[in-house]
Structure 1
Amino acid sequence: MTLTAQLQEAGRAPALPMRIPLSGGGSVTVDQWLRVLPGKRLVARAMQDDTPVLLKLFIGAGADRHCARERLGLSALAQQGVATPKLLAEGEVEGGGRYLITEFLSAAQTLQQAWEALPGREPGQAEAMGLLGEALAVIAELHSKGLAQTDLHLGNFLLQSEQLFVIDGDAVEALSPGRPLTAEQAQQNLAIFFAQLKSEWDAFTELLLITYLQHNPLALNPDKLAASIARVRRQRQDDYLGKSLRDCTLFSVQRSWQRFTAVVRSESERMRGLLGDPDSYFGAQPLLKDGGSSTVAKVALGDGSVVIKRYNIKGLMHWLKRFWRPSRAWHSWQAAHRLAFLGVATPAPLAMIERRFGPLRREAWLITEYCAGDHLFSVLGESGEMEPDETTGSALLKVFQQLVAARISHGDCKATNLLWLDGEVLLIDLDAMQQHQSPSQWQQAWARDRARFIRNWPQGSPLANWLEQHLPVVAAKTD
């Protein structure tokens, strides 16, 4: 069996160690897989004559083209004096495909790793601003030399001994080598970078751009940049939600005539038994809810607990209304991942199952992280006699401001559908959640959500009055 065939057969778990023969003679030995896209591309740390190197294997359709793009991108960076790992070798993979070897930067970390290690990443926080400024200084250097990195995220900047390297040559485009990008080109590329941040960071965009402009002075249009950021963020969100329904690095998805199953890949092992027979976990557990439309149980699983929610079919007429459209579990799965992508607090969605007969839906299950929070009636009381304290009030307004910024309506703003946990307000029961494109429909939906939430407490009570004064109001607009 050829090397390419072995790698394709191995899927997501190629053997270690693995010897890779080089087309010019000699070999390298892989001792760590860093990234595996089954049947397409693999990235590894390997040893060559006792020296660590970075190995990229291109084994799928278009391998020659992808390898060439990587090589040309790295060459463009090097030619313009931008720090990038040195290209060491390139050749053919036995059985089809290409390999590319670059120097391995030992003891280096990505800016994403540095970002995640920060003690605080709140918008405007000094250390976070400084780290983003480091990336923007390098982006400015790229733009000043006519280059654009089209996959601008913190993981594509590698920090070693205070030197920042640009990696992933496949995403580097030489738009005007040696000559600065136009303001329009730079703006579109910067939008990709800023769209990686949560929308709360948008207020700091102009402040962050000061670092960029110090290295590449351009007349950027703030309004056009903001519109570009919003557009790219929507594209990224749609792409992420699409991934939650197909087999990929982040999600394991299986389809058959009888069922559809999606699970966060890192949770696959822990969920194995539950996914096989979710109903068997209801019998031995005290139920959190046992209603006609849904049954909910808390289950100890592995080193934690999860919540299983089964969406029931109450009878033939109910099934006839629902069989032709995505289940409420499907909708809630997408809604929860939408919130998670936007940074809105909600119990982590872990898995979703639909029982099917071909294209026809039947019962469905949603599995989420268990969050031991109290609903807002427990925190704020039912009488509404007191306004929230500063901490609770700020957390409450934050979640609603996030929903307004994203044009999301919850659809059932009962106080029991919002949990208080560790200083945060979490949204649950997302069956009716929607993200609106139409301004007029969004205004009407938000007005209903706002009014319903205030009605949790007696009219004229101090808490109801406080909410009326502080909850965001969306002005009516025409489409």
Structure 2
Amino acid sequence: MISTVSNSHNGNALRRIGRDLQAPFSLQVRSGDQTHQLLCSELLRLLPHKRVTCFAQWNHQPVVIKCFVDQVKWKRHTKRELQGYRALEKANITTPDILEYGFDEQQKLGFIIFQRLTPSQSLLSRINTTDSKEERLSLIQRACQLIALMHNKGVAQHDIHLDNFIEYKNELYVIDCGDISTSTHLPLDRGNSLKNLALFLAQLPLIFDDSAAFALETYQSISIGKKFDIQMLLDQMQLLRNRRLANYQKKLFRDCTEIIYNHDIQHISASRRALTGPELNCWKLDPDSPFQTEEILKYGGQTIVSASFDQRQTFIKRYNIKNAAHQAQRAFRPSRAHISWIAAHSFRFYGIKTPEPIAMVEQRLGPIRRHAYYVSEFIDGTMLIDYFNDDTPESQIQQIVSRMIEVFRLFKLGNITHGDTKATNFMVVKNNVYVIDLDSVRFHTSPRTFQKTFKKDVLRFLRNWDDKPEIRDLFEKDLMSLLTHSR
């Protein structure tokens, strides 16, 4: 493992080290008879054996360097990035300047050194860190204006997501030029424009679907000769969002940038790479160990303990097998840990608050599932059933009621049902509502099945307050309207 600045690498080393590459390190690249020395201080993106993107120092100035190291396609990938940059430059779209680039034939490496705009923030970071709805809408408005300008010039960014826009000195810049296409006919045609705008908006949290009409109005105020109605945009957004979610869910059981995945005949395990340390790795080999040493918080169909891994407090759920009949019933179905792992990541994808997923383990005998374990972050809050009491100020009650109704509205937008909407499965944490106990969550593709199951969720939730009609009244009108109105 690389841990000090004294480590020096070239293209062959970057390709060989793969995912074990760590910053800081020095880098030497060549172009013709010129040699460039860089000090890479932070990894921004790492696609093992293909591409490395870093913050670096070069000629006493801060830069961003992209290295293309695929053994076969390195030159093609470098040229594609350069072509995308030139397309943006020709269209007068703001993008960081290229300071240097080159092709190192000996090392089979292409590199591009970009101007580093500092201080800057990605659009995703800006949206996530502001509490102002007006500011978030302003950011979306500016992004839609920039997308419209690109389309007017026949330019489309096919990997268009929130991290590929950065704000610098109150201006948005487009970054990552490797998936830019240009059309010979100006402006970009109506169908591709709709898909590209929908792809951008589909990556915003579900709550922003309410702003789709505003985004479309902003886009069409600048775009040339393209008109489509809001329902066309919403339908395309839902189609693309479902496709992205399906692809994302597959990655949760694959070794990739975000996930560490291991499997053999006796077990499978998955954990979030950024949250995995030595202690969590040891636990994955012996997942029952905390249940022998820690206090049992709940016992029954699932046993819950709290334990610390790598200085992070967690909840661990073990989904128990009751008897031989239960074992036969669960043997070939996705385990409840598997369902919770997918649901928690998907909720975060959609912008629905839930404790952060950390790891899951299934004990197996070949394809036969046995015990399963799910680890999430520890959250300290109040169960919703206990929140509404005489000591809670009226203003806070109204706020949490609104947040809870919003959760159900997001469920409807995402065609999601929880499956067990007892009030104990929602927690109030710092004036936000977190959804817990995710092992019955379903993502529906059939509108009819969703509507039927969603109605059960709503009615079950309202039954929590049968003995508190004044609380039920706060929820009932808005929740029942979700059953009768379309999105």
TM-score (norm 2): 0.88
3-state SS, counterpart of residue 143 of structure 1: helix
Matched to 2:280, the amino acid is M
169 and 440 in structure 1: CA distance in 2 versus 1, 3 angstrom threshold: same
The residue aligned with 1:27 is 36
Ranges in structure 2 where 5+ consecutive residues have no aligned partner: 1-7
Determine the C-alpha separation between the residues in 1 that align with 2:173 and 2:470. 56
Determine the C-alpha separation between the residues in 1 that align with 2:91 and 2:388. 60
Matched to 2:123, the amino acid is L
The residue aligned with 2:114 is 102
The residue aligned with 2:104 is 92
CA contact under 8 A between 2:385 and 2:423: conserved in structure 1? yes
3-state SS, counterpart of residue 141 of structure 1: helix
456 and 162 in structure 1: CA distance in 2 versus 1, 3 angstrom threshold: closer
The residue aligned with 2:247 is 239
The residue aligned with 2:282 is 273
3-state SS, counterpart of residue 156 of structure 2: strand
- Cα deviations across residues 31-79 of structure 1 (Å, max 9, x unaligned)? 2232211111101234444344432222225333322221111111122
3-state SS, counterpart of residue 138 of structure 1: helix
- Cα deviations across residues 245-271 of structure 1 (Å, max 9, x unaligned)? 211111111222222111111111162
The residue aligned with 2:202 is 195
CA contact under 8 A between 1:2 and 1:95: conserved in structure 2? no
CA contact under 8 A between 1:350 and 1:369: conserved in structure 2? yes
109 and 93 in structure 1: CA distance in 2 versus 1, 3 angstrom threshold: farther
Determine the C-alpha separation between the residues in 2 that align with 1:338 and 1:106. 32
Write the mapping of 1:21-170 to structure 2, written as runs, cut at 5 A.
Answer: 21-25=29-33, 26-32=35-41, 33-60=43-70, 61-87=72-98, 88-92=100-104, 94-118=106-130, 120-121=131-132, 125-170=133-178
The residue aligned with 1:212 is 219
Q: Name the Cα RMSD after superposition.
A: 2.8
Matched to 2:463, the amino acid is R
Q: CA deviation at 1:210?
A: 4.0
Q: CA deviation at 1:189?
A: 0.9
Determine the C-alpha separation between the residues in 2 that align with 1:323 and 1:296. 22
3-state SS, counterpart of residue 226 of structure 1: helix
CA contact under 8 A between 1:457 and 1:463: conserved in structure 2? yes
The residue aligned with 1:346 is 354
After TM superposition, the structure 1 stretch with the greater mean CA deviation from structure 2, 406-415 or 468-477, is 468-477
How many residue pairs were aligned?
468
After TM superposition, the structure 1 stretch with the greater mean CA deviation from structure 2, 40-49 or 281-290, is 40-49
Q: CA deviation at 1:91?
A: 0.4
- Cα deviations across residues 417-471 of structure 1 (Å, max 9, x unaligned)? 2222222222221111112111221122122222222223337944345544332
CA contact under 8 A between 2:335 and 2:369: conserved in structure 1? yes
The residue aligned with 1:330 is 338
TM-score (norm 1): 0.89
After TM superposition, the structure 1 stretch with the greater mean CA deviation from structure 2, 370-379 or 59-68, is 59-68
Q: CA deviation at 1:333?
A: 0.8
- Cα deviations across residues 355-377 of structure 1 (Å, max 9, x unaligned)? 12233222110001112222222
Determine the C-alpha separation between the residues in 1 that align with 2:436 and 2:290. 21
The residue aligned with 1:433 is 441
**1:361 has 2:369 as partner:** yes
**1:416 has 2:424 as partner:** yes
Determine the C-alpha separation between the residues in 1 that align with 2:11 and 2:366. 35
55 and 150 in structure 1: CA distance in 2 versus 1, 3 angstrom threshold: same
CA contact under 8 A between 1:322 and 1:361: conserved in structure 2? yes
Determine the C-alpha separation between the residues in 2 that align with 1:469 and 1:50. 63
3-state SS, counterpart of residue 276 of structure 2: helix
Report % sequence identity: 31
Q: CA deviation at 1:4?
A: 4.2
Q: CA deviation at 1:396?
A: 2.1
3-state SS, counterpart of residue 98 of structure 1: strand
Matched to 1:200, the amino acid is I
Determine the C-alpha separation between the residues in 2 that align with 1:147 and 1:387. 49
